[in-house]
Structure 1
Amino acid sequence: MDEHGALATPVDDDPTLVLLKVEEAARRLRVGRTTCYALIRTGALESVMVGGLRRVPADAVPEYVTRLRTAQRAA
C-alpha cells in the first residue's frame, strides 16, 4: 500500500514499460501464458529476444487487439 492506503500498482501495469515479460503481456490481454506463447509462436503477437529472454514490445499488445478487431469487423 502507498502512503494513502491505496494498493500499490503492480510493476507489470506500469504504462512506461517498453518491453513486457510474456506473462505480463498475457495479463494485459487477459489470456493464459500458454495462449500468449501460442500467439507469439504463430507470429500473431510480436516478440523479441533480449539476450536469452523473450519479451513482448508493449505497443505490440494494442496492435494485436486492433488487428483482431479489424479482422472481426471484416468477417
Structure 2
Amino acid sequence: MTSPPLAALRKEVAPALDLLTVPQVMARLQLGRSTVYDLIRTGQLASITLGRARRIPTQALTDFIRTRLAQEAA
C-alpha cells in the first residue's frame, strides 16, 4: 500500500492546522487586545491553548465574522 503524496496531505490538513495568534486576530479585526480576549472569554470566538500560548483557528475567526454579519442583517 502506498501513502498519498505529501502535497495531497498538506491540502487536507493545512486548513485544520491554520492557527492565528491574538495579535494576528487583533490586526485582522482591527480590535484591541482586551477586546479579543473578551470575545474569547465570552465564547464568541473559539480558541485553544497550547501550553501558555492562545491560538485561534482561522475557521473560528471566519465563523465569528459570519455570525456577526448574520446578526447585523437580521
TM-score normalised over the length of structure 2: 0.71
CA RMSD of aligned residues (A): 1.5
Cα displacement string for residues 22-41 of structure 1 (whole angstroms, at most 9, x for unaligned residues): 11111111111111001000
Which structure has the larger Rg over C-alpha atoms?
2
Encode CA deviations 1:6-65: one digit per residue, 9 max, x unaligned: xxxxxxxxxx77111111111111111111001000000010011221111112112111
Find the aligned partners of 2:73 and 2:21 in 1 and give their Cα distance: 30
Gaps of 5+ in 2: 1-14
- The answer to which structure has the higher helix fraction is 2
AA aligned to 1:27 is A
Contact 1:22–1:55 (8 Å) recurs in 2: yes
Partners of 2:63 and 2:28 in 1: how far apart? 13
Task: Show structure 1 runs of 4+ deviating over 6 A.
Answer: none
Q: Hey, what does 2:30 align to over in structure 1?
A: 30
Match of 1:8 in 2: none
Unaligned runs of 5+ in 1: 1-15
